[in-house]
């Protein structure tokens, strides 16, 4: 059985020392080993940005795609080979700006893959411009007088788009992040995990210390029920999207590939498919 070291390769990441993305890489490697995967059973697909390099640093199948397109590639991969565990990963610029259309539709499509966003509230690779996650008033090279746009709340968007798994974590909390990725991999459907992954070089506002002060961990709310969608939306809004943990999970909905005619896996019952008996027999 594979262990953590089997998911390591000998490529040295060229992220800046202290970048939050190191922990996300470690958490993916740990989670993959913990759920019992072998490297050849995992594919990591990434977009463009500092975080996009992650697919090259994990010993598994890797695909470094184009900007904002990790999800179309990852979904195609899963449809072509449903035996693979597929993780898509990228930054907030990649997933919530150029890639936002794909993000919303991948969420509502509910293909059984895991999407991890390394959210640092800035464009790091291009040396520090305002991203869709930057707060109002945030000063960067592209907004020297402060951003006048509102920051996007990806968790609210995910819930509104019909997500079946919504989680959020923080690079400094490797234990929670690893567990969340494990749960995301095991979830039968699209798992959306947003990770506060500080850019230590260009974002001097949303630092590790800032997150530690502002994060609201669901561990502090033991009676929280992640199956309650309304409670999930309320919690996200109450905490200004700074809540971490498993925020929402719907275990009842079937994933997309299990509902596509011609892709019927062994043992899928007629009543699981929203199609007529006649159509079922044709599968």
State the Cα–Cα distance between residues 157 and 107, nearest whole angstrom. 10
| Near ligand SF4 by CB under 6 A: residue from 50, 86, 155, 195 | 50
The residue from 159, 199, 215, 247 that contacts ligand SF4 (CB under 6 A) is: 199
Distance, in Å, from the CA atom of 264 to the CA atom of 148, rounded to the nearest integer, reads 49
CB 154 within 8 A of CB 248: no
Residue 123: DSSP 8-state: B
Selected from 120, 147, 179, 249, the binder of ligand SF4 by CB under 6 A is: 120
- Rounded to 5°, angle at Cα 87 from 85 and 92: 170
- Kindly identify the residues of this chain, within the stretch 72-101, that bind Mg ion according to CB under 5 A: 91-93
15 or 170, CB closer to ligand SF4? Answer: 15
Q: What does the CA dihedral 164, 170, 171, 174 come to, rounded to 10 degrees? A: -80
Distance separating alpha carbons of residues 43 and 74, to the nearest angstrom: 8
Residue 120 in contact with Mg ion, rule: CB under 5 A:
yes
Do 226 and 246 contact (CB within 8 A), yes or no? Answer: yes
Which residue of 2, 135, 174, 200 would you call a contact of ligand SF4, by CB under 6 A?
200
201 binds ligand SF4 (CB under 6 A): yes
Q: What are the angstrom distances between the C-alpha of 166 and each of 56, 69, 110, 261?
A: 26, 20, 12, 27
Bridge partner list, 248: 166
User: Which of 61, 202, 248, 256 contacts ligand SF4 by CB under 6 A?
Assistant: 202
Interface mask toward ligand SF4 for 72-111; x: CB under 6 A: ----------------------------------------
- Among 7, 21, 29, 194, which residue sits at the site for ligand SF4 (rule: CB under 6 A)? 21
Decide which of Mg ion, ligand SF4, none touches 19; Cβ closer than 5 to 8 Å per partner kind: ligand SF4
Contact segment (CB under 6 A) with ligand SF4 among 193-201, 235-243, 247-255, 267-275 equals: 193-201
> At residue 116, what are phi and psi to the nearest 5 degrees?
-115, 120
- The partner in contact with residue 92, picked from Mg ion, ligand SF4, none with C-beta cut-offs of 5 to 8 angstroms by kind, is Mg ion
Residues interacting with ligand SF4, by CB under 6 A? 15-16, 19, 21, 50, 120, 124-125, 199-202
Residues interacting with Mg ion, by CB under 5 A? 91-93, 120
């Amino acid at each position: 059985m594979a262990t953590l070291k089997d998911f390591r390769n000998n490529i040295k990441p060229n992220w800046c020392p202290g970048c939050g993305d190191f922990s996300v890489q470690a958490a993916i490697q740990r989670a993959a080993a913990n759920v019992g995967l072998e490297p050849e059973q995992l594919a990591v697909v990434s977009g463009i940005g500092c975080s996009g390099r992650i697919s090259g640093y994990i010993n598994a199948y890797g695909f470094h795609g184009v900007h904002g397109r990790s999800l179309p590639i990852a979904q195609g991969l899963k449809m072509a080979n449903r035996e693979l565990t597929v993780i898509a990963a990228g930054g907030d610029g990649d997933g919530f700006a150029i890639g936002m259309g794909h993000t919303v539709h991948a969420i509502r499509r509910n293909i059984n893959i895991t999407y991890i966003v390394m959210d640092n509230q800035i464009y790091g690779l291009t040396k520090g411009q305002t991203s869709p996650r930057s707060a109002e008033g945030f000063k960067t090279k592209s907004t020297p007088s402060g951003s006048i746009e509102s920051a996007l709340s990806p968790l609210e968007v995910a819930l509104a788009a019909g997500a079946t798994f919504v989680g959020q974590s923080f690079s400094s909390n490797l234990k929670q992040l690893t567990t969340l990725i494990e749960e995301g991999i095991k979830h039968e459907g699209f798992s959306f995990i947003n990770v506060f992954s500080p850019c230590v070089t260009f974002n001097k506002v949303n630092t590790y210390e800032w997150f530690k002060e502002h994060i609201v961990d669901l561990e502090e709310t033991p009676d929280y029920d992640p199956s309650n969608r309304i409670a999930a939306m309320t919690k996200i809004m109450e905490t200004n999207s700074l809540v971490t943990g498993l925020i929402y999970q719907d275990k009842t909905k079937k994933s997309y590939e299990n509902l596509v005619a011609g892709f019927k896996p062994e043992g899928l019952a007629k009543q699981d498919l929203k199609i007529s008996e006649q159509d079922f027999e044709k599968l």
